[in-house]
């Protein structure tokens, strides 16, 4: 995982809050005990909150002017942090460790590097002192017409926006061809469900084993539905003749592209969020 985390342009997710504090110079002794005690209490408070610590050090802010809750869905909580250096978008999960957000950050950075469709740039992933994890990323102000990207309508303005989304996605796919086959650098999650991304040379093998096969396995384990499992296996066995002769070139996909993960910025340009990236 360490090698893959280097994809992030900001501080590595594996960098702990304690290691950041260790790199900071020791404060000089003050002639005023109260002032020295005040500084120590600020440092202690920062060490208890790695989100504020990153924002006030590597985030280049000198003060946080406000925070506000943003709907984060049924899995994560989300907040906007306003500072004198701009705003940051922060997601937290009090039950799940940083691996889930590390996978999201790597996917966001991979899409961001294509310089095609707009995605929020991830800055930092880490663990919360009380358990769970967080991810800090670029805050993008959405326009009023978030649903216009996918809403079926005869309105030509909305049709133009859907066309822009399609073109930008095509640009991303063309810009991020995979020379490693089908899969991704790390396992990630689609929602809260694990997604297996082991690199595989053959498309049908990857899809039948790590997508259909894995989902069928989860269904069987959770619900004991042998009928669905058997029908799924029959479909997997027929995939080779169904795609015989098809030429499929692996490229980067968002992996969880539905209306809830599509928006538009204040300029009306499409934005995609919350990926479960892999190459296929």
Please write the tens of the pLDDT for every residue from 257-280: 999 999 999 999 999 999 999 999
Lowest mean pLDDT among 32-36, 47-51, 198-202: 32-36
Mean pLDDT, residues 30-42: 47
Choice among 84, 256, 265, 274 that is catalytic: 256
256 is catalytic: yes
pTM assigned to the model: 0.80
- Nearest CA-CA partner of 107 in 47, 185, 49: 185
Contacts from 254-259 at CB under 8 Å and sequence distance 24+?
254/107, 254/111, 254/169, 255/107, 255/188, 255/190, 255/195, 256/190, 256/191, 257/169, 259/147, 259/149, 259/150
pLDDT at 29 over 80: no
Residues 62 and 41: their CA atoms lie apart, in Å, by 16
Size of the chain, expressed as the number of residues it contains: 280
Q: Is residue 279 within a helix (H) or strand (E), and if so which, with residue range?
A: strand 278-279
Domains (range + CATH), the chain: 2-138 (3.30.200.20), 148-279 (3.90.1200.10)
What letter would DSSP give residue 185? Answer: S
Please write the tens of the pLDDT for every residue from 142-176: 997 554 444 434 444 456 677 999 999 999 999 99
Q: What is the pLDDT of residue 160?
A: 66
What letter would DSSP give residue 122? Answer: E
Q: In the numeric block, which tokens belong to residue 101?
A: 């957000």
Gyration radius of the chain's alpha carbons: 22
Mean pLDDT, residues 21-34: 43
Q: What is the pLDDT of residue 53?
A: 97
Lowest mean pLDDT among 25-39, 43-57, 213-227: 25-39
Residues 100 and 68 sit within 8 Å (Cβ to Cβ)? no
């Amino acid at each position: 995982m360490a090698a893959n985390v280097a994809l992030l342009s900001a501080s590595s997710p594996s960098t702990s809050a304690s290691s950041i504090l260790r790199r900071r110079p020791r404060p000089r002794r003050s002639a005023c005990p109260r002032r020295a005690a005040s500084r120590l209490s600020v440092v202690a408070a920062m060490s208890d909150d790695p989100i504020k610590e990153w924002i006030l050090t590597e985030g280049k802010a000198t003060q946080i002017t406000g925070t506000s809750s943003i709907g984060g869905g049924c899995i994560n909580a989300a907040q906007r942090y306003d500072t004198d250096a701009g705003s940051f978008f922060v997601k937290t999960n009090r039950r799940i460790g940083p691996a889930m957000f590390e996978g999201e950050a790597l996917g966001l950075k991979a899409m961001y590097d294509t310089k095609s469709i707009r995605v929020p740039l991830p800055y930092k992933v880490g663990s919360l002192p009380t358990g769970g994890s967080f991810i800090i990323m670029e805050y993008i102000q959405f326009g009023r017409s978030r649903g216009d990207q996918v809403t079926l309508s005869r309105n030509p303005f909305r049709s133009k926006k859907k066309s822009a989304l399609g073109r930008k996605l095509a640009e991303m796919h063309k810009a991020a061809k995979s020379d490693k086959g089908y899969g991704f650098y790390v396992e990630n999650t689609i929602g809260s469900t694990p997604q297996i991304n082991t690199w595989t040379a053959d498309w049908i093998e990857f899809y039948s084993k790590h997508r259909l096969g894995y989902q069928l396995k989860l269904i069987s384990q959770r619900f004991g539905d042998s009928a669905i499992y058997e029908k799924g296996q029959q479909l997997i066995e027929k995939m080779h003749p169904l795609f015989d002769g098809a030429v499929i070139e692996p490229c980067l996909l968002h992996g969880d592209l539905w209306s809830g993960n599509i928006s538009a910025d204040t300029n009306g340009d499409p934005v995609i969020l919350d990926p479960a990236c892999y190459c296929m």
